[in-house]
Copies of this chain bind each other. A is one copy, B any other.
């Protein structure tokens, strides 16, 4: 049996792996979860014993085939619950992440599949992240951010990389949603701030960090 904490670590490792494709270190995991590196080292031992990860000083942490499967299923449950909370219960997109963070740990052989069917087999969650299918496959993940757009370029928001309520509420305030069209008017060379036009409206300036948190399709 895999515990709640183990599941959270697994999901975290999975995300780091997808996000960066880089070496996954204890420090990176600790930072991402807000835990102490010493605790991470403990958990690395546990997950290694359970054959869900491999750890090598040189290569860092890697998911085993089983670890990948388990992680994918947790992500599937998380994103399906997010769709449920938004579409069926009427939550806003900045409220659902934390609740899904708990719901994702409910274990039942058929729950995810039933929920998937009930929701009409959605491809993406409310933040634009692809929902893994029962077989582990999933739709395209976008990786280009608003910060990658060249000056003058036009793009469409397809996902958010940051799901904190601070960021999502800021987007709300700016009138940005999945699907919103944005034009990059100017890049301020001093600090890479971005001057943008949202749905053709008047110009607004946002930070580089902001730009790197919005995934777009050109």
The interface of chain A, by Cβ under 8 A from chain B, is 88-91, 98-99, 102-103, 105-108, 111, 114-115, 118
Interface centre among A88, A89, A90, A118 (most CB of B within 10 A): A89
Q: What 8 pairs across the A-B complex have the smallest Cβ distances?
A: A89-B114, A102-B106, A99-B108, A88-B118, A89-B118, A103-B106, A90-B114, A89-B115
**Chain A to chain B contacts (Cβ below 8 Å), 16 pairs:** A88-B118, A89-B111, A89-B114, A89-B115, A89-B118, A90-B114, A91-B114, A98-B108, A99-B106, A99-B108, A99-B111, A102-B105, A102-B106, A102-B107, A103-B103, A103-B106
Q: How many copies of this chain does the complex contain?
A: 2
Cα-based distance from A103 to B98 in the complex (angstroms): 15
Residue of B nearest to A81 (CB): B106
Q: Which residues of B lie under 8 Å from residue A98 when comparing CB positions?
A: 108
14 extra interchain contacts, Cβ-Cβ under 8 A, other than A89-B111, A102-B105? A88-B118, A89-B114, A89-B115, A89-B118, A90-B114, A91-B114, A98-B108, A99-B106, A99-B108, A99-B111, A102-B106, A102-B107, A103-B103, A103-B106
